[in-house]
Chain A
Amino acid sequence: MSPVIRIHPAEDFKARSRGVLNDPGQRKNFRGAMDFLQAKRSAQFPDQDELASLRELGATIRRYSLAHLPQLLEQLETNLRANGVQVHWAQNAVDANAIALGIAHRVEAQRIIKGKSMVSEEIEFNHAMEAAGIEAFESDMGEYIVQLADEKPSHIIMPAIHKTKQEIAKLFADKIPGVDYTEDVDALIQIGRQVLRRKFAQADIGLSGVNFAVAETGSLCLIENEGNGRMCTTVPRVHIAITGIEKVVQKLEHVPPLLSLLTRSATGQPITTYVNLISGPRKADEKDGPEEVHLILLDNGRTQAYADEQLRATLQCIRCGACMNHCPVYARIGGHAYGTTYPGPIGAIISPHLLGLESTYPLAFASTLCGACAEVCPVKIPIPDLLVRLRNEAQARPDSAEATLRGSGAARTPLISLVWRFWSLIYSRLGLYRLTSWFMSRGRALSPTEQGAWTRSRTPLIPAPKRLRDLLKERNQ
């Protein structure tokens, strides 16, 4: 197959961020959407004690699952196979697309209808299918809008959050034959419904993600509100599910607490309209459901995070998006600025494993470390700690013990290294420290007025006239 993986590195992150910051319309869309989602979540957790204990339970379930990950994956595979589901393993995006293409060619598929799946975005599934002459059609309303506009999702839960209804009205009128301009949201949804119903009925393969894979029963749990996920996993004759290897839990009873945390944190709903638990293809006497069900288990860099005790927490994520909904940076620059499949705080900590630090390290620096993400994370991922760790990795000397990741040391420059070497020299020698600080305070008038990025939007940094040491001496006299 042709290598059609289009990685969108975070190198132009700053330029894109500046673009959004100067676009009042986009800023208003994001601010409004974030306020809406924050209020919805908050209303779902009136009892702080219940929230605290449920988060603790959710975090324990995720940590337990990761601690037993290789065994659970094998148990999942055994039980899925016993249920008649075919299990495939993919090291990277190219492998995963090749597996899906292999299935598509074998069943002579022309059309694939897709439920919402961030992993399929991660592997650029649509482009890989297109290159092979197979139509891959998005059926989640938000994803459908984004695909129609030839864009990428700007949020992991609400893909078209950056668009106004006026923009969508224009898009539908321009791109869908026979559709007149209407800003009525109900009418727009009904237009989408009519287009997509035909697609469901005609598709050869349905593709979906997975929210939780249950090892003990060999089941795939999918949640959604629209019903398109159920359509994709029920109507076409083949269902392919794709997921990261971290999504497995051991017991079925681990699902209810995680499900409750997920829907309440994500969209502020007690539960989604549909919870779809799939444990096998159509049986001989059944009248619908796919004849074949496949699961593709994708690594794509996740094992790198797994190998590190601290970074393993990244894989606890259940993809609710609450971290981005509460992030002051995401709220201002939106999802596209990040340039990665997963934006926001979770994107900053997962993307370096998927793509390497070389192209993603700027994301770890785009944080005030305010801690809002960690405070709302339903499975208690210490996101700011992980951001700091990734910053250190990005600055580490590539041949040192601190450099453990793909692309470690990518942010290192001779000037910054020199500055830190001096800093460390001064701060580890008392006499030198006293001497330097004496000169700094006395020579403050010589401070430069141009201090690079700092003075672009702030007044210059000038050392205090008296050192803390001098002040204490005066006070104690």
Chain B
Amino acid sequence: MSARESILGRLRATSITTPVPLPDVGGWYAARQRQEDLPQRIHRLRSALEAVHTEVHDTTEADWPALLARLAAAKGLRTLLIGDRTAHGAVLEASQPQGLQLLSYAQAIDSWRDALFDDIDASLTQARSAIAETGSLVLWPSAAEPRTMSLVPPVHFVLLDVARIHADFHAAMRAEGWAQGLPTNALLISGPSKTADIQQTLAYGAHGPRELVVLLRHAPGAAA
């Protein structure tokens, strides 16, 4: 008998005498739903992100490339990895940021792994959405913006539209229909990489980015 059949056989041989009802997860969250407007939700997201050393900057559709260029210059960054043929990448390229070399993730990692690890100062990706409760950015890496963009470069810039902020993780997966189809990798990112493995002392920049910078894009006309 195979290991599979043995294990399943042993499990099936056990009769479950007390039935357990399907947990009402939706009901639990519905009973705790907050009545909050967008500014309150933005405030919750920002507080949670800032509590874990994330920079959050307000900006607009028109201004973000200039803001990014200023921040990159202030941090002394020289190279920025952008996605392959993304709309926001094109906008940034058109803005021609001074002193910042833009590189696009055009090749599979296998052909430039060492360069990715050693030569890139920062990256820019777009967040799919965000979660106010825990201060989390939702990223669904894709062929255009692969997984390692949010992992390997030491500084990670993230563009987030404020209209895409959900109250909590459950609300986010329900509103976006996650159970109906997931990408090969879905991520929640809540701050820069960190560790407290040495004597419970918190240190940032363990293996992933040392800095996480959120560019919070407000709708045209809204106060930034």
Known: A219-B182, A230-B208, A287-B105. A256 touches B203 (CB 8 A): no
Tell me if A170 is interfacial: C-beta within 8 Å of chain B. no
Q: B151 to A168, Cβ gap below 8 A?
A: no
Q: Which of A33, A90, A188, A255 contacts B3 (CB 8 A)?
A: A90
Tell me if A14 is interfacial: C-beta within 8 Å of chain B. no
When C-beta atoms are compared, the residue in chain A nearest to B51 turns out to be A270
Tell me if B12 is interfacial: C-beta within 8 Å of chain A. yes
Q: A289 to B13, Cβ gap below 8 A?
A: no
Q: Which of B32, B105, B198 contacts A145 (CB 8 A)?
A: B198
Residues of A close to B12: CB separation below 8 A:
70
Residues of B close to A309: CB separation below 8 A:
17-18
Q: B148 to A270, Cβ gap below 8 A?
A: no
Q: Please report the C-alpha to C-alpha distance between residue A91 and residue B9 in the assembled complex, in whole angstroms.
A: 12
Residues of B close to A273: CB separation below 8 A:
52, 189-194, 208
Q: Please report the C-alpha to C-alpha distance between residue A61 and residue B26 in the assembled complex, in whole angstroms.
A: 12
Residues of B close to A275: CB separation below 8 A:
136, 187-188, 190
Q: Please report the C-alpha to C-alpha distance between residue A195 and residue B174 in the assembled complex, in whole angstroms.
A: 41
Q: Please report the C-alpha to C-alpha distance between residue A185 and residue B196 in the assembled complex, in whole angstroms.
A: 9
Q: B179 to A253, Cβ gap below 8 A?
A: yes
Q: Please report the C-alpha to C-alpha distance between residue A57 and residue B201 in the assembled complex, in whole angstroms.
A: 33
Number of residues from B at the complex interface, CB < 8 A: 78
Q: Which of A61, A69, A196, A237 contacts B11 (CB 8 A)?
A: A69
Q: A193 to B105, Cβ gap below 8 A?
A: no
Residues of B close to A176: CB separation below 8 A:
none
Tell me if A142 is interfacial: C-beta within 8 Å of chain B. yes
Instruction: With both chains docked as a complex, state the minimum distance between the C-beta of A332 and any C-beta of chain B, in angstroms.
Output: 18
Known: A234-B148, A279-B184. A285 touches B23 (CB 8 A): no
Instruction: With both chains docked as a complex, state the minimum distance between the C-beta of B117 and any C-beta of chain A, in angstroms.
Output: 5
Q: B197 to A160, Cβ gap below 8 A?
A: yes
Q: B188 to A64, Cβ gap below 8 A?
A: no
Residues of B close to A449: CB separation below 8 A:
none
Q: B200 to A33, Cβ gap below 8 A?
A: yes
Chain A residues 36-75 with CB under 8 Å of chain B are 36-37, 50, 53-54, 57, 60-61, 63-64, 67, 69-70, 73-74
Tell me if A216 is interfacial: C-beta within 8 Å of chain B. yes
* Proximity bits, A219-255, B CB within 8 Å = 1, else 0: 1000001111011001101000000010000011111
* Proximity bits, A168-189, B CB within 8 Å = 1, else 0: 1000000000000000011011
Q: Please report the C-alpha to C-alpha distance between residue A83 and residue B185 in the assembled complex, in whole angstroms.
A: 12
Instruction: With both chains docked as a complex, state the minimum distance between the C-beta of A32 and any C-beta of chain B, in angstroms.
Output: 8
Instruction: With both chains docked as a complex, state the minimum distance between the C-beta of A358 and any C-beta of chain B, in angstroms.
Output: 21
* Proximity bits, B2-38, A CB within 8 Å = 1, else 0: 1110111011111011111111011011001000000
Tell me if A274 is interfacial: C-beta within 8 Å of chain B. yes
Segment with Cβ contacts to A, from B72-80, B92-100, B108-116, B216-224? B108-116
Q: A307 to B14, Cβ gap below 8 A?
A: yes
Q: B193 to A226, Cβ gap below 8 A?
A: yes
Q: Please report the C-alpha to C-alpha distance between residue A57 and residue B28 in the assembled complex, in whole angstroms.
A: 8
Known: A193-B205, A235-B113, A286-B143. A251 touches B179 (CB 8 A): yes
Q: Please report the C-alpha to C-alpha distance between residue A277 and residue B189 in the assembled complex, in whole angstroms.
A: 11
Known: A64-B20, A288-B108. A271 touches B25 (CB 8 A): no
Tell me if A280 is interfacial: C-beta within 8 Å of chain B. yes
Known: A196-B207, A259-B169. A288 touches B195 (CB 8 A): no
Q: Please report the C-alpha to C-alpha distance between residue A95 and residue B194 in the assembled complex, in whole angstroms.
A: 35
Q: B11 to A70, Cβ gap below 8 A?
A: yes
Tell me if A278 is interfacial: C-beta within 8 Å of chain B. yes
Q: Please report the C-alpha to C-alpha distance between residue A193 and residue B16 in the assembled complex, in whole angstroms.
A: 48
Instruction: With both chains docked as a complex, state the minimum distance between the C-beta of B177 and any C-beta of chain A, in angstroms.
Output: 10
Residues of A close to B21: CB separation below 8 A:
60, 64
Residues of B close to A234: CB separation below 8 A:
147-148, 151, 185
Residues of B close to A60: CB separation below 8 A:
20-21, 23
Tell me if B183 is interfacial: C-beta within 8 Å of chain A. yes
Q: Please report the C-alpha to C-alpha distance between residue A59 and residue B198 in the assembled complex, in whole angstroms.
A: 32
Q: B107 to A287, Cβ gap below 8 A?
A: yes
Tell me if B206 is interfacial: C-beta within 8 Å of chain A. yes
Residues of A close to B143: CB separation below 8 A:
283, 285-287
Chain A residues 282-310 with CB under 8 Å of chain B are 282-283, 285-289, 297, 299, 303, 306-307, 309
Instruction: With both chains docked as a complex, state the minimum distance between the C-beta of A104 and any C-beta of chain B, in angstroms.
Output: 19
Q: B148 to A288, Cβ gap below 8 A?
A: yes
Q: A226 to B195, Cβ gap below 8 A?
A: yes
When C-beta atoms are compared, the residue in chain B nearest to A309 turns out to be B17
Known: A63-B20, A142-B197. A89 touches B182 (CB 8 A): no
Residue in B22, B135, B151, B185 whose Cβ sees the most chain A Cβ within 10 Å = B185
Tell me if A4 is interfacial: C-beta within 8 Å of chain B. no
Q: A235 to B148, Cβ gap below 8 A?
A: yes
Q: Please report the C-alpha to C-alpha distance between residue A32 and residue B133 in the assembled complex, in whole angstroms.
A: 30
Tell me if A367 is interfacial: C-beta within 8 Å of chain B. no
Please give 12 more A-B residue pairs, beta carbons under 8 A apart, in addition to A67-B19, A197-B207, A253-B26: A60-B23, A67-B18, A190-B205, A201-B117, A216-B179, A225-B193, A226-B194, A226-B207, A245-B7, A260-B169, A287-B108, A289-B147
- Jot down 5 A-B pairs with beta carbons below 8 A, ordered by A: A37-B200, A252-B179, A271-B135, A272-B190, A297-B7
10 closest A-B pairs by beta carbon, nearest first, are A227-B208, A142-B197, A226-B206, A275-B188, A271-B134, A227-B207, A227-B193, A141-B197, A89-B4, A303-B10
